[in-house]
Amino acid sequence: MVKFNQVTLAASIGALLSLSTVTFAGQGLTSLSDEEMAKQTGQVLFNASYLAPSDSGNFESANNVGFYKLGLEAELQINANIKKLQLGCGGVNGANGCDIDIDNLSLSGNSATREGRVGSDAVLTNPFIEFAIKNPDSASLREVVGFRVSSEKMQGLLTAGTANSSTANGINSISGYMKVQSDPSGIIKGYAKTMATRDNLYGPNEVQGTLQALGLGGVAEADFKTTNGGFNVPAINNNYFETPAIKVNGTRIKSVTLSAPVKVPNIYVGNGADYPVAGTVQYNATPHQAGIPEPSAIYTQGGPVEATVTQCRVIACLIAPNGTKLPNVYMNGTISNITANLNLQQSLGLIHSLPIDSPFYLSLQKNAMHWPGAKADDIAQKGWWLSLADPVNIGNVNLTDAIDISPLFPQISTFVSQYLQANPAKTNDLAGLLNIGDLTANIGTIDLKDAPLTLNLSNLQLTNQDFVPNCYGGLTFC
Mean pLDDT value of segment 106-121: 96
More confident residue, 94 or 191: 191
Mean pLDDT value of segment 335-357: 94
d(CA 441, CA 325): 15
More confident residue, 343 or 25: 343
Q: What is the pLDDT of residue 63?
A: 87
Contact present, 354 and 392 (Cβ < 8 Å)? yes
Partners of residue 213 on adjacent β-strands: 427
pLDDT tens digit sequence for 289-344:
878 899 999 999 888 999 999 999 999 998 899 999 999 999 999 999 999 999 99
- pTM of the prediction? 0.81
Contacts of 273 (CB under 8 A, 6+ apart): none
Q: What is the pLDDT of residue 432?
A: 81
Q: Is the pLDDT at 146 greater than 60, yes or no?
A: yes
Q: Is the pLDDT at 434 greater than 90, yes or no?
A: no
DSSP calls for 254-308: -EEEEEEEEEEPEEEEE-STTSPPTTEEEEE--SSSTT--EEEEEEEE---EEEE
Q: What is the pLDDT of residue 416?
A: 94
d(CA 440, CA 138): 90
- Confidence label for 5 from pLDDT (cuts 50, 70 and 90): very low
d(CA 380, CA 64): 17
Mean pLDDT value of segment 219-234: 93
10 Å CB burial of residue 249 (0-12, 13-18, 19+) is: middle
Mean pLDDT value of segment 377-394: 96
Using DSSP, state whether 409 is helix, strand or coil.
helix
pLDDT tens digit sequence for 37-54:
777 776 678 899 999 998
By percentage, how much of the chain surpasses pLDDT 70?
Answer: 94
Using DSSP, state whether 55 is helix, strand or coil.
helix
d(CA 343, CA 451): 16
The one-letter amino acid code at 255 reads: S
Q: What is the pLDDT of residue 28?
A: 58
Task: Give the phi and the psi of residue 227 in degrees, each rounded to 5.
Answer: -125, 0
Average pLDDT of the chain is 89
Q: Is the pLDDT at 243 greater than 70, yes or no?
A: yes
By percentage, how much of the chain surpasses pLDDT 90?
Answer: 72
The one-letter amino acid code at 154 reads: M
Mean pLDDT value of segment 257-274: 88
Q: What is the pLDDT of residue 19?
A: 38
